[in-house]
Amino acid sequence: MADVKKIATRESYGNALVELGKENPDIVVLDADLAAATKTGVFKKEFPERHIDCGIAECNMVGIGAGLAAAGMIPFVSSFAMFAAGRAFEQVRNSVGYPHLNVKIGATHGGISVGEDGATHQCCEDIALMRTIPGMTVIVPSDDVEARAAVKAAAEMDGPVYMRFGRLAVPVINDTADYKFEIGKGTVLKEGTDVAIIANGLCVAEALEAAKKLEADGINAKVINMATVKPLDEELVLAAAKETGKVVTVEEHSVIGGLGSAVCDVLSEKLPTPVLKIGINDVFGHSGPAVELIKEFGLDGDSIAKKVKDFVK
């Protein structure tokens, strides 16, 4: 995929905020001393008075976001996933989730692709944490096109939204003429009848790679991009399970509580189907180049293809 354009979804986040800032004076962006990394710095450059650096105090930042939302503004609270969903979990739960305030959480540096910073900053638990909060919308965009669309859609809806973005530049896969993003709707990127691979985030591009490799082995895999983990597109999950009889989930997140669990929740209740969950297997990450870590943890196209092949055998 050397010739494919690559952009980190955190870049998309910053750029989308600038666009929103131009359209809506109530958009305000909060950061906790990470504006250069979360890419909200571009918004700061454009709208310095509406970029609020809260310093290194994420719990307070989330609370300020709640207060701004209660006063009618649309705050985008920005930090690394580890701190937005992890450190400030209870603030998100009690100050944002419980009163269902219109706070948007832009969490960058999700998953192991944080790379060299290592395990303390590689959050693989955020989706599990966020999806347990009643009324929280949880989105994990797969590329630049989708990330920008998700930010816009989040701003347009009323209620709390958690968006997870990545540090690593990932291929642009959704720049098609008919691409349309809708919260709560998955997208079939490739039809197939032998197995359904449901992925999100950077794993979508890897799943497409895997599907190509599987094709060579005579396995016809359906690939679904499930950007919204909550509310989950249950209809699409059930239809895919019915069609293929076997489901694989792929995510840059713990196999506990994330997309895989969300899919299993639906299938176990409504259409029991064998599921293979590919993700981080209940371990911490470690330092290293992101691309190598993705391979080590089995989230690259080759690894996914091998696991799917074993699973459908």
Partner 1 sequence: MTTAELKKTANEIRKDIIKATHAAKSGHPGGSLSAADMFTYLYFVEMNIDPKNPKDENRDRFVLSKGHVAPGYYSALAERGYFPKEDLLTLRHIDSYLQGHPDMKKIPGVDMSSGSLGQGISAAVGMALAAKLKNKDYRTYTLLGDGEIQEGQVWEAAMFAGARKLDNLVVIVDNNGLQIDGNIEDVCSPYPIGEKFAAFNFNVVEINGHDFDQIADALKQARECKGKPTAIIMKTIKGKGVSFMENQASWHGTAPNDEQCEQALKDLEKVGE
Positions marked catalytic: 58
Region of 57-65, 159-167, 248-256, 300-308 interacting with partner 1 (CB under 8 A):
57-65
Q: Residue for token digits 């701003």?
A: 155
Size of the site for partner 1 (CB under 8 A): 29
φ, ψ of residue 183 to 5 degrees: the values are: -60, 130
| DSSP classification of residue 287 | S
Is there binding between residue 47 and partner 1 (CB under 8 A)?
no
Closest CB to partner 1 among residues 50, 131: 50
Asked whether position 134 contacts partner 1 by CB under 8 A, the answer is: no
Please identify which residue in 29, 52, 203, 210 interacts with partner 1, judged by CB under 8 A. 52
Here the tokens at position 178 are: 């008919």
65 binds partner 1 (CB under 8 A): yes
Closest residue by Cα to residue 99 from 128, 138, 68: 68
Does 51 interact with partner 1 (rule: CB under 8 A)? no
Query: For residues 296, 232, 108 and 14, what is the CA-based torsion angle, rounded to 10 degrees?
Result: 130
- Which residues, other chains included, contact 19 with Cβ-Cβ below 8 Å and sequence gap of 6+? 148, 152
**Residue closer to partner 1 (CB basis): 61 or 293:** 61
- The residue among 74 and 114 lying less far from partner 1, judged by its C-beta, is 74
Contact between 69 and partner 1 per CB under 8 A: yes
312 lies in the binding site for partner 1 (CB under 8 A): no
**Judged by CB under 8 A, does residue 34 bind partner 1?**
no
Tokens of 186: 């998955």
141 three-class SS? coil
Q: Which range binds partner 1 by CB under 8 A, 8-16, 48-56, 163-171, 243-251?
A: 48-56
**Site membership for partner 1, residue 311 (CB under 8 A):** no
* Residue 237 touches partner 1, criterion: CB under 8 A: no
User: CB-based burial of residue 231 (10 Å sphere; 0-12 exposed, 13-18 middle, 19+ buried)?
Assistant: middle
Quote the least distance from Cβ 66 to partner 1, whole Å: 5
Task: Tell me what percent of the chain is helix, strand and coil, each rounded to the nearest 5.
Answer: 45, 20, 35
Please report how close the Cβ of residue 13 comes to partner 1 at its closest, in angstroms. 21
- The DSSP secondary structure of 182-250, one letter per residue, reads -TT--EEEE--SSEEEEE-TTHHHHHHHHHHHHHHTT--EEEEE--EEES--HHHHHHHHHHHS-EEEE
Residue 7 makes contact with partner 1 by CB under 8 A: no
Least distance CB 52 / partner 1 (angstroms): 7
Residues 74-103 binding partner 1 (CB under 8 A) are: 75, 90-91, 94-95, 98-100
Nearer to partner 1, 135 or 288 (CB): 135
Half-sphere exposure of 21 (CA within 13 A, CB side): 23
| Positions in the binding site for partner 1 (CB under 8 A) | 28, 49-50, 52, 54-55, 57, 59-60, 62-73, 75, 90-91, 94-95, 98-100
